Structure 1
Amino acid sequence: MAADRASEDLTARARIRDAALRLFTERGIDGASIRDIAAAAGVSSGLIRHHFGSKEALRDACDAYATAEMNRLRDQMFEGGGLTDTAGMVALHPTMRALQGYLVRSMVDGSDAAGALFDDAVQLSEEWLTRGKVETRDLRAYAAVLVAMQLGVFLMKDQMSRALGVDLDTPAGHVRLNRGFVDAFSHVLLTPEQAAQLHTAMDRMDDGGQR
């Protein structure tokens, strides 16, 4: 009997967490009340307080869960030829999109945990650029811009879906979006001369126009 009750508690905790993930993504932490989350999870507000204590603690639990799951799924994709497993990629897509959407919204809302995830992504991007021997005047800026570009599409999901004529939350939308990323990252948009001219202009701005 005690084991059944413990199992029910775990199930209720997971339902609360999943409902909070959805509502925090849609409305932000300020726009999603404990009462709303309880209604979505089919539990009482008191049970949320029993499991998590407060809305802020619930958000922290959602951050920890989303971060851990994203790391696990990323490892699953990159290990053992996961990137070539079409069926596996399609199966993972809805979960990864939901987690990415939550984490981006959490960053916008000022979550420390999600902010740390952004910092980690920039660091990984720096390491990737270094391994690829990419030439850059400012490695940190390059890495941060790459990460922000990738995350920015989630902030403009509705606009991107409208522009592409396909919902980004569908596998077809995900494929089209990533085709755009592949092309953007694989094509040089500026000639070396143009890049040098722009850097020279920015050098002058750095010097207050003295050059």
Structure 2
Amino acid sequence: MPEPEFEDLTARARIREAAVTLFAERGVDATTVRDIAQQAGVSPGLLRHHFGSKEALREACDHYVLERLVKIKEELVFDNPRFLPAVHPTIVRYNKYVTRALLDGSPAAAAMFDDMVRLTAEWIEQHLPGLTDDHRSFAAVLVGMQAGLFAMHEHVSRALGADMFTAEGHVRMSTALIDFYSKPLLTPDLVAKAHSALDALRAKAEGA
């Protein structure tokens, strides 16, 4: 469900939410502990008391954001798609966070990508078990495609004619994604030929 009002959160939650916002806007390196504490309305000492360091706070934010995105997706897909307008600002903020986090070249970015692949593979295995014989490879490609879409948000937004992080741009992008995922681009004959070619390439590589 949508996030509670900021002032209603505990100090720990305010710190986490402030960090998510600032990390999404500036990146981790450009955000200081003092910046986060000021945004959260707490002292830097209280931040360190709850999280120990900025790196540990970033790790907590990574796990929280991914967990929340999965829960929001499940709510939208399986229970109540009509709550999208209420939760859209949260989705946008979290997508910005993930985009920035994945592009900073840190070990934490690699860990986040691996977590996203794992969560996506688990989703496929649970909800679409017959979709593919290789859940992990499918998940890795899907996460890479989705992450690339957000990483290139400036170019995609320009092509869409609306910022994909606004309601208008998000609707247009998401509609295109639904069409993309719901309509096969390859005929069964082309699929069979592609698999045959890949099988031949695999056999050649294994025999080399």
Q: What TM-score comes out, normalization by structure 2 length?
A: 0.76
Tell me the distance in 2 between the aligned counterparts of 1:29 and 1:72.
Answer: 25
Alignment of 1:8-47 (within 5 A): 11-47=10-46
* Deviating more after overlay: 69-78 vs 184-193: 69-78
8 A contact 1:125–1:147 mirrored in 2: no
- Name segments (4+ residues, structure 1) moved above 6 Å: none
Provide the C-alpha distance between the structure 2 equivalents of 1:115 and 1:138, rounded to a whole number of angstroms: 16
Query: Which residue of structure 2 lines up, in the alignment, with residue 103 of structure 1?
Result: 98
- What pairs with 1:1-211 in structure 2 (closer than 5 Å)? 11-80=10-79, 82-83=80-81, 85=82, 88-108=83-103, 109-111=106-108, 112=111, 115-130=114-129, 133-134=130-131, 136=132, 138-206=134-202, 207-208=204-205
- Contact 1:168–1:177 under 8 Å retained in 2: yes
1:4 maps to what in 2?
Answer: none
- Structure 1 residue 21, shift from structure 2 partner: 0.5
Q: How many Å separate the matches in 2 of 1:178 and 1:138?
A: 26
Amino acid at match of 1:63: D
Aligned to 2:185, the other structure's residue is in SS state: coil
SS of the residue aligned with 1:29? coil
Structure 1, 51-60 or 70-79: larger mean CA deviation: 70-79
Q: Aligned partners of 1:126 and 1:156: how far apart in 2?
A: 29
Question: Please, which moves more after superposition, 154-163 or 144-153?
Answer: 144-153
Q: 1:46 to 1:114 in 2, by over 3 A?
A: farther
Cα deviation digits, residues 72-94 of structure 1 (max 9, x gap): 433433454x11x2xx2111111
After superposition, the Cα gap between the structure-2 partners of 1:149 and 1:114, relative to the gap in structure 1 and judged at 3 Å, is closer
CA distance in 2, matches of 1:204, 1:27: 47
The letter of the residue matching 1:203 is: D
Query: How far is the alpha carbon of 1:193 from its aligned partner?
Result: 2.8
Could you tell me how far apart the structure 1 residues matched to 2:42 and 2:192 are?
Answer: 61
Deviation of 1:166 (Å):
0.6
Q: Which letter does structure 2 place at the counterpart of 1:189?
A: L
In structure 1, runs of 5+ residues without a counterpart are 1-7
TM-score by length of 1: 0.75
Change (3 A) 1:201 1:72: closer
Deviation of 1:101 after TM superposition, in Å, equals 2.9
What is the CA distance between 1:107 and its match in structure 2? 4.3
**Structure 1's 74 and 138: CA in aligned 2 closer, same or farther, altered over 3 A?**
closer
Percent identical residues:
43
